[in-house]
Structure 1
Amino acid sequence: MEIRWFGHSAFEIVSEENLKILIDPFISNNPSCQVAVEDIGADVILLTHGHADHFGDAMEIADRNNALLIANHELSIFLAQQGFETLGMNTGGSCMVQNVKITMVDAQHSSDIDFMEEVAPGGSAAGFIIQLENGYRIYHAGDTGLFGDMKQVIGEIFKPDMAILPMGDRFTMDPEAASIAAQWIYPQKVIPMHYNTFPIIQQDPDHFVELVKSKSPEIDVVILKPGQTYQE
């Protein structure tokens, strides 16, 4: 399994059976991303919500790769109206793509489609639990604040092996809240995201490492630079 971070909340996961999963592909307008959108492929694209810095280049990449787009029900209708193959979901629901199980979970955030001339409803923001072919579970939290179900549902029921958590503050959790989320979820590994893309969400990842270690020393914090790949 490989995970590549493109900066912000954009990740590529390549499974053991070589399924390419792209999450929140904010690429061409992402100042921290050094990869051209034309060089990114995908079999399936997951969208956590409708904001431009997450929806990003989803339609261009899906069109070029004939990729399946997975999002909440409202976003899936919007995408289907543009002619794309979509799979709509809602909180608590799951689907199978080849041998990978994808479950939609709550996130505390807004989700309107904000990149068109008129802002349109975009359903509810979400996170995803991605269970790979070997059973390894990755939790991508999307944009969210801290909420109790991170402990009672995501941590205690889904038990992810890896959690990818936002920590930029202003629009999501800050590093302190993200370290509490890590403590509640208690995965083996945590990757921080949604920070340092813009000055307004500037954070020090080393401080996040210190916060996690002070609460949960057994958790391994993986700090990636945009473009870097982590292998498991």
Structure 2
Amino acid sequence: MTVHFGAVTVDWLGLATVRLEGRTGTVVYFDPGPEEYGVLDGYEPRDGDLVLVSHDHHYDPDSIRRVARDDAVVLVHESIDADGIERLVDQPESLPYDVERVRADEGFVLGPLDLFTTPAHNDPDGPHVDENGEPHHPPGRGCGFGVTIDGVCAFWPGDTDALESHEELAVDLFLPPIGGTFTMDRHEAAALVGRMRPDLVLPVHYDTFPAIAADEEAFVVDVARRSVPVVLESPHRD
């Protein structure tokens, strides 16, 4: 099922991969892949004008090649380094696209699109840490992305806890992770939704593998009780 919201269509393809298409035909992808989770199996449209990659766990050159046009712009967080990724991947600059590195917490215009980035990390003193007590996503190692396409501001916060800075954002479409373990869980995401008050919520980043299993129906009930519109979409690659 494709979600239609204002002038934009939204498709969740699995994990954090989301495709946005505006009325004017501009196509944006958040975090395509990685292939190891089967997110883009059988899917290779190569129609993306803009590809956004939030951090190294979601950086996958093969997946980017599946979705990006030949003349695509690819924005990656400044910390992404192929040498530090266990999977054998190329450095972003070796990709055959216009590749730019971005910091967290900046804003810019790219053609007809307005974009901003936000910090994305786990609190070292919070619940989303590994067996050694280290955050799965340390501060400075990733970002969230907001993009306004044909009047709709869509925001993917990245793999992150719910942060106080999120509450200040005015967004139309919020795409929160709800799987927990590595990110905010459904309870934390619902509470954040209540403080942000977006026009529509579409949860992502859950049920791709056991560690991020979530009760999405319970999330819907929790968000609906806060009088915020919410929709579910099963991952698909039509």
Q: Identify whether the pair has TM-score above 0.5, normalized to the shorter chain.
A: yes
Question: Does the Cα contact within 8 Å between 2:29 and 2:48 map onto a contact in 1?
Answer: yes
Match of 1:21 in 2: 28
Task: Point out where structure 2 has 5 or more consecutive residues left out of the alignment.
Answer: 1-7, 83-90, 124-137
Match of 1:47 in 2: 53
Counterpart residue identity of residue 171, structure 1: F
Q: 5 Å matches for 1:110-121?
A: none
TM-score (norm 1): 0.80
Question: Per the alignment, do residues 59 and 192 of structure 1 end up closer, same or farther by CA in structure 2, a change over 3 Å counting?
Answer: closer
Secondary structure, aligned partner of 2:51: strand
1:55-75, CA deviations, whole angstroms, 9 ceiling, x for partnerless residues? 233442377633211022243
2:163 aligned to 147, 156, 170, which one? 147
Query: Is the 1:5–1:224 contact (alpha carbons within 8 Å) kept by the matching residues of 2?
Result: yes
Amino acid at match of 1:55: Y
Unaligned runs of 5+ in 1: 111-120
Indicate which of 104, 107, 124 corresponds to 2:141. Answer: 124
Tell me, in whole angstroms, the C-alpha distance in 1 between the residues paired with 2:96 and 2:149. Answer: 28
Is the contact made by 1:13 and 1:20 (CA closer than 8 Å) also made in structure 2?
yes
1:138 to 154, 158, 161: 154
For 1:225 and 1:206, the matched residues in 2 are separated by: 12
Aligned match of 2:127: none
Q: Which residue is equivalent to 2:193?
A: 182
Please list the CA deviations of residues 122-167 of structure 1 after superposition, one character each: whole Å capped at 9, or x if unmatched. 9521111111233x2111111111121111x32xxxx101100001
Q: Residues 142-195 of structure 1, C-alpha deviation per residue, up to 9 Å, x if partnerless?
A: 1111121111x32xxxx1011000010111111100101111111011011110
CA RMSD of aligned residues (A): 2.7
Per-residue CA distance 1:196-222 (angstroms, 9 max, x = gap): 0001211111010111123x12x1111
- Tell me the distance in 2 between the aligned counterparts of 1:122 and 1:211: 29
Q: Distance in 1 between matches of 2:207 and 2:25?
A: 30
Aligned to 2:232: 223
Matches within 5 A, 1:104-115: 104-109=117-122
One-letter amino acid of the structure 1 residue matched with residue 20 of structure 2: I
Which residues in structure 2 correspond to 1:151-230 (within 5 Å)? Answer: 151=167, 153-154=168-169, 159-214=170-225, 216-217=226-227, 219-227=228-236
Question: How many residues are paired up?
Answer: 208
CA displacement at 1:27 relative to structure 2: 5.5
Q: 2:77 aligns with which of 52, 59, 72?
A: 72
State the secondary structure of the residue aligned to 2:203: strand
- Distance in 1 (alpha carbons) for counterparts of 2:198 and 2:69: 35
Residue 86 in structure 1 maps to residue 99 in structure 2? yes
- TM-score under structure 2 length normalisation: 0.78
Q: Tell me by how many angstroms 1:48 deviates.
A: 0.9
Counterpart secondary structure, 1:179 = helix
Q: Do structure 1's residue 30 and structure 2's residue 37 form an aligned pair?
A: yes
Q: Secondary structure at the match of 1:221?
A: coil
Q: CA offset at residue 96 of structure 1?
A: 2.2
In structure 2, the CA distance between the partners of 1:64 and 1:14, relative to structure 1 (3 Å rule), is: closer
SS state of the match for residue 39, structure 1?
Answer: coil
Instruction: Judging by fraction of residues, say which structure has more helix.
Output: 1
* 1:182–1:212 CA contact under 8 A, matched in 2: yes
State whether residues 143 and 157 of structure 2, in contact with CA within 8 Å, keep that contact through their aligned partners in structure 1: yes
* Matches of 2:237 and 2:65, distance apart in 1: 23
Deviates more, 1:85-94 or 1:14-23: 85-94
CA contact (8 A) 1:24 1:48 kept: yes
